[in-house]
Amino acid sequence: MQDIFPQTAARLAQWREQPDVLGVLLVGSKSRAHNDALSDDDLEILLTDAAFAQRTPSECAEFAFEGEEDAKKLIYDAQYTTLTALQQKLPSPLDLDHWPYERARILFDRNGHVAPVVEALGHMDAEFRHARLLYSTINTSIAINRATKTLKRGYKEAGRLVVARGVRALSRLLFALEWRWVPLDHWLEPELQTLDDPTEAGLLLIEALKTDNPEPLRTALNNLEEWLVAEDIPRPANRPKLFSEQVHPTHDAQRAFHGLY
């Protein structure tokens, strides 16, 4: 079923027969067509609140393997949670609470209540998106300037760290421009390839990572300028004013989860 392993499919049939199981989701690499020989089935098992409350923390994870020793392979990794917990993630500003559900496959939905929650989790609110664009633009600019100064001072390792911060800020910007959440770090490269990315900023982002050089980030941000202006992001000459607004105490709440140096 949907490219899951036979052992997973057999376990899925058992979950379907348990009335306390409200739904089963496939997340992770297989849900996003990034699967390879190293991939397993990453599952979320949605229980009723009462059933979940009966489990200890150690009972909220289940793993299945096949093979022995060096040939041992993880088949599925199932995390038990609740539909209520999923619903509570809806207002979360954290990418980790949304990105897995952008492409999640619903393997089982007992009452039809799971699908709308999953769909809503994968959606990015317009107001949140605009704030992310504003902060990510400023964060990228700051990282570029700080990395340039840091490297000129001869602090190579510190400069590498600041370039990495700039890469993270630019990645948040690129995905938000396409109404998407930022992937987990270990899926950044294949996920960048799924963007339309008309300015090819993703390639420059990777180049900055490879070379520990902030200049590809500067080029990428410059190439994005007209797109950003169309999204009501101030041009570079007006960004110092935007920065002053963002660091004002009245913006503490937004800054706490959008981030700002």
Q: Which residues of 231-241 are buried (b: 16+ CB within 10 A; e: fewer)?
A: eebbeeeebee
Which of 148, 144, 129 lies closest to 204, judged by CA?
144
d(CA 115, CA 111): 10
- Provide the domain count of the chain: 2
pLDDT at residue 128, as a whole number = 95
Are 165 and 189 in a shared domain? yes
Query: Which residues of the chain register pLDDT less than 50?
Result: none
Show which of 102, 122, 142 is a domain's final residue. Answer: 122
pLDDT of residue 249: 87
CATH number at residue 205: 1.20.120
Range of the domain at 57: 6-122
Residues 105 and 134 in one domain: no
On whether both 164 and 201 belong to a single domain, the answer is yes
Q: Which long-range contacts (CB under 8 A, 24 or more apart) does 229-233 make?
A: 231/130, 231/133, 231/177, 232/130, 233/133, 233/134, 233/137
pLDDT of residue 60: 97
pLDDT for res 2: 56
Q: Which long-range contacts (CB under 8 A, 24 or more apart) does 151-155 make?
A: 151/214
Task: Please report, for the domain that includes residue 73, its CATH number.
Answer: 3.30.460.10
For the entire predicted model, the pTM comes to 0.91
Establish if 1 belongs to a structural domain.
no
At residue 259, φ and ψ (nearest 5 deg) are 80, 145
Instruction: Note whether 149 and 200 are same-domain residues.
Output: yes
What is the model's pLDDT at position 260?
60
Looking at residue 248, its amino acid is: H
Residue ending a domain, among 103, 122, 141, is 122
pLDDT of residue 246: 86
Asked which of 83, 104, 122 is the last residue of a domain, the reply is: 122
67 and 131 fall within a common domain: no
Kindly state whether residues 176 and 246 are assigned to the same domain: yes
